[in-house]
């Protein structure tokens, strides 16, 4: 089966963005008059809840029940402002794509492999990241973007991936997903996709059982990635040629 499309997650997969999201959350809490602080340890736990509004509500219920009545009606506005702040942070140029991402996107375009995004983050956040890291062509690189509240249920539900597959008009066997978290891997698997996992700074301890390949990143010719489990890749680099070989041969052994 020829590889027809790659479906990328965004936060932690395209770029290490979670620290910028955490900073934006903390700024918005101050602006709304709440004495809340999400440090790294707490945020790592909160990331198990996908979706920003859902994450705030979970935090309130679990850690700040005394603020629930006052804060819950403001969650949507808090999240909207948080995304605005995040966009401003990204526009300052503090973020870069993870190793191998830009290269693989360019290879896919040259090879006629479609590109899609399936994420739980808001569409404005996707646009901000792509515009800053790739430029105008970043938005044009991805034929399909499924973001934010577009999916009825967020990861680990497969909804976002299933919507992406439907819009691509491709079967799961013709596509490969790229993720950084256990929730993302579960969502892609549930949609029938093979998944390559590149754990991020907040997901290195996740359980990636079932991922076809777990590697430190996609790798560059001058900087090969670290192989963790599953499929390995020639010279420590995930390329379109190697992905097409995987898609045609199934699980298989080393290439």
Specify if 126 maps to a domain. Answer: yes
Out of 91, 107, 122, a domain closes at 91
pLDDT number for residue 252 = 45
Q: For residue 9, indicate whether it is catalytic.
A: yes
Structural domain range at position 46: 18-91
Specify if 255 maps to a domain. Answer: no
Shared domain for 148 and 134, answered yes or no, is yes
Shared domain for 78 and 132, answered yes or no, is no
Q: What is the pLDDT along the chain (255 residues), one digit of tens a residue?
A: 789 999 999 999 999 999 999 999 999 999 999 999 999 999 999 999 999 999 999 999 999 999 999 999 999 999 999 999 999 999 987 799 999 999 999 999 999 999 999 999 999 999 999 999 988 777 789 999 999 889 889 999 999 999 999 999 999 999 999 999 999 999 999 999 999 999 999 999 999 999 999 999 999 999 999 999 999 999 999 999 999 998 776 554 445
pLDDT number for residue 77 = 98
Out of 91, 109, 137, a domain closes at 91
Q: For residue 205, indicate whether it is catalytic.
A: no
pLDDT number for residue 166 = 98
DSSP code string of 50-96: -SHHHHHHHHHHHH-GGGHHHHGGGHHHHHHHHHHHHHHHHHTT---
pLDDT number for residue 149 = 83
């Amino acid at each position: 089966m020829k590889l027809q499309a790659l479906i990328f997650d965004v936060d932690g997969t395209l770029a290490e963005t979670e620290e910028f999201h955490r900073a934006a959350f903390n700024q918005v809490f101050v602006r709304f008059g709440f004495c809340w602080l999400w440090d790294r340890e707490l945020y790592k736990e909160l990331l198990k809840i996908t979706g920003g509004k859902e994450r705030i509500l979970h935090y309130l219920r679990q850690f700040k029940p005394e603020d629930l009545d006052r804060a819950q009606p403001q969650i949507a506005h808090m999240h909207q402002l948080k995304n605005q702040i995040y966009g401003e942070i990204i526009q300052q140029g503090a973020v870069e794509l993870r190793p191998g991402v830009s290269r693989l996107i360019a290879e896919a375009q040259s090879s006629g492999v479609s590109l899609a995004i399936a994420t739980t983050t808001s569409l404005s956040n996707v646009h901000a990241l792509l515009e800053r890291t790739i430029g105008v062509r970043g938005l044009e690189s991805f034929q399909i973007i499924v973001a934010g509240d577009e999916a009825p249920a967020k990861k680990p539900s497969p909804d976002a991936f299933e919507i992406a597959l439907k819009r691509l008009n491709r079967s799961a066997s013709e596509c490969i997903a790229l993720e950084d978290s256990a929730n993302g891997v579960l969502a892609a698997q549930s949609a029938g996709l093979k998944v390559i996992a590149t754990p991020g700074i907040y997901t290195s301890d996740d359980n990636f059982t079932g991922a076809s390949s777990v590697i430190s990143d996609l790798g560059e010719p001058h900087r090969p990635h670290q192989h963790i489990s599953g499929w390995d890749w020639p010279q420590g680099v995930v390329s379109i040629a190697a992905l097409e070989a995987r898609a045609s041969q199934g699980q298989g052994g080393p290439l």
